[in-house]
Chain A
Amino acid sequence: MTKHYMLKILVCAVLFSLVFVSCNGHKEEYHSVMERIEAESEDYHGVTLSSEKYLEELKSIEITEGDFTFLIPERKSQIKSYACTECHTKSLNELQDSNIGKKAHWDISIVHANENIMNCATCHNINDMDNLKSLTNKRIDFNNSYNLCSQCHTKQFNDWKGGAHGKNIGGWAPPRAALTCVNCHNPHEPHFESRWPARFNTQKVKERE
């Protein structure tokens, strides 16, 4: 008698658990979206989409910084008067002495840190005009100018590498391409100007009257 009773309970339990399991299996439910992301990205195989075709016209270089490898726009071909030595055939001292009229780079003013911290020679090398230089006088290529900025702006540099600072271009699909520091910030005046908003909604004003 008790044996039968136990058997019944066992069968019931098995049936119940079957129903419970199958219900759960069918429902594709997660407690939160973070849980979904975690679960579904475990067997991530990559996507068939690519943003390569949107980057075709962009002249870019691939950089690897820490764990991150991505594309940034090539810089030297975009600088109007590069290479610098095409004009700077004489040393700066000689140029200053010879009175040749209007000064070049007259439109550049430095609004970046203060004079105690920065002047032209903080980044530019008088003896090697075609390259930039680090604080310790190491050569930095114009294409990799972010290495210069990152000497002080370490937090921004970290965020930029990860993708929280700066701007991705092309598309969300791999390969990743991001603008580099000088594409948004003028290195001589890195702050953003204030300006008027792009639009004003006059209809909204009427509706809220």
Chain B
Amino acid sequence: MSDNSKKWFSLNLNSKTKQSTGSCGCGSTTGGCGSHNNTVEVEQKKDGFEQVFDVKMDRRTAFKQLTASLMIGAGAVSTSCSVIAGDETKEKSQIDWEEQFKGNYKLMTDEEKNATVNRLVRSYQIRTGKTLNMSSKNAEEDVLFGYAFNISKCQGYMDCVSACVEENNQDRNSQMQYIRIHEMKDGNGFNFNEADDNYYHEVPAEGHFYMGTQCFHCDNPPCVEVCPVQATWREDDGLVVVDYDWCVGCRYCMAACPYDGRRFNWGKPEVPEEDVNKNQHYLGNRLRKKGVMEKCTFCIQRSRAGKNPACVDACPTGARVFGNLLDPNSTIRWVLENKKVFRLKEDLGTEPKFWYFMD
């Protein structure tokens, strides 16, 4: 990626590949400032650095914004220019700066996605000395992910919950779990008020059935509608994802979700280093921070590689079916076409891509 097309400002004090700086200091060698704007780029949406600074604002807001950014910037600059600080420290500050001012993942080009992923991997390497494998793979053509859950098969063993936590690096302190298994009395229908989603006794319990809920990846997701900063959206393959670095933690989405599918990091999420799943995706199981939302992504790091989500692989009863809704020969399509299926709160028009069925 050429430095000119960057949507945010770079410090480049300690860049490995030194960029040639023109006389005007805007990164171009020819023409005056502002003359090297391509006409094509004019239509570009404001993003990243520009989104913050290239807007009309009163002095007070401007000062506020500047102070906040300068605090980070000052730290970055001081370490970068410091003679005592080591190369790694400088590189780390450089990364922190770039990460601070990067744009919304949704608007990034593939190069930019790749760049931020590389920065995150490098940053983790500097901090812990361990290497991650992080992907920024986009949605595949002709794919729409769907899920089916057999309520006559689930026995409530919760192997799925364990597999999910291990796969997706959820916070161990608050014991965050994306999946909830509800133990329901036979003959009472779906009565969530009386269901127990935190049982601990031998299962299956006599006279009970079990149903799991998680993010349903609605085709018409209300959580996406309410997000004030567009930090959550529906991808082309139907996955509803969150950019953890763009989320401001307002929890509107949590309130908007009719299925309790979203989780919030009230504290700093912590995973013991040896338990961290190092096979990650930017929109999936990469390590989160305090004050951001997260949720099930149908294990985007697995599903976009052709695998089943961890819960599907872990289920010992085969109650979970996952697949491509657009493939007429897929098993999920067979289930939808041949079994009696239903979805939760269908009348809301959220169009969940998560069906329940019975034998």
Contact of B159 with A201 in the complex, beta carbons under 8 Å: no
Q: Which of B19-27, B186-194, B198-206, B240-248 contacts A (4 or more CB under 8 A)?
A: B198-206
A interface residue count range (under 10 / 10 to 19 / 20 to 34 / 35 or more): 35 or more
Which of A30, A32, A54, A184 touches B318 (beta carbons < 8 Å)?
Answer: A184
Tell me if A47 and B177 are in contact (CB < 8 A). no
**CB proximity of B156 to chain A, nearest CB, Å:** 6
A194 within 8 A of B: yes
Q: B residues within 8 A CB of A46?
A: 142, 327
Residues of B close to A208: CB separation below 8 A = 198
Q: Are A172 and B339 in contact (CB under 8 A)?
A: no
Pick the contact of A203: B155, B174, B332 (CB < 8 A): B174
Alpha-carbon distance A72/B258, docked complex (angstroms) = 39
Instruction: Give per-residue flags for A44-56: 1 if the beta carbon is below 8 A from chain B beta carbons, else 0.
Output: 1111111100100
Contact B318 A167 (CB under 8 A): yes
State whether the Cβ of A78 lies closer than 8 Å to any Cβ in chain B. no
Residues of A within 8 A of B325 (CB): 37, 41
User: Is there a chain B Cβ closer than 8 Å to A133's Cβ?
Assistant: no
Q: Is A33 an interface residue (CB 8 A)?
A: yes
- Does A189 interact with chain B (Cβ within 8 Å)? no
* Chain A residue contacts of B323, Cβ below 8 A: 163, 168, 172
**Residue B351 CB within 8 A of the other chain:** yes
Q: Give the docked Cα–Cα distance between A40 and B200 (Å).
A: 44
The chain A residue with its CB closest to the CB of B334 is: A162
A200 within 8 Å of B (CB atoms): yes
> Which listed residue (A164, A166, A195, A201) contacts B175, Cβ 8 A?
A201
CA separation between A112 and B219, bound complex, in Å?
Answer: 44
Q: A195 is contacted by which of B141, B153, B203, B307 (Cβ under 8 Å)?
A: B203
Set of chain A residues within 8 Å of B327, measured between Cβ atoms: 41, 44, 46-47, 174
Given A50-B306, A192-B155, answer yes or no on A198-B162 (Cβ-Cβ < 8 Å): yes
Q: Which residues of A, 167-200, contact B by the 8 Å Cβ criterion?
A: 167-174, 176, 179, 184, 192, 194-200
Determine the chain B residues whose CB is within 8 A of the CB of A173 once the complex forms: 306-307, 324
The docked-state distance in angstroms from the alpha carbon of A179 to that of B297 is: 25
Q: A205 at interface (Cβ–Cβ under 8 A)?
A: yes
Q: Find out whether the CB atom of B318 lies under 8 angstroms from the CB atom of A171.
A: no
Given A33-B351, A199-B162, also A44-B200 (CB < 8 A): no
Bound state CA distance, A169 and B315, in angstroms? 11
Smallest CB gap from A159: residue in B: B359
Q: When the two chains form their complex, are residues B328 and A33 in contact, meaning their CB atoms are under 8 A apart?
A: no
Q: A198 touching B161 by the CB < 8 A rule? A: yes
Q: Decide if A163 touches B332 in the complex (CB within 8 Å).
A: yes
Q: Is the CB of B156 within 8 A of A164?
A: no
Interchain CB contact under 8 A, A164 and B308: no
Given contacts A54-B306, A167-B315, contact A205 B198 (CB under 8 A): yes
Would you mind naming 5 contact pairs between A and B with Cβ atoms under 8 Å apart?
A: A30-B219, A164-B334, A194-B202, A196-B202, A197-B156
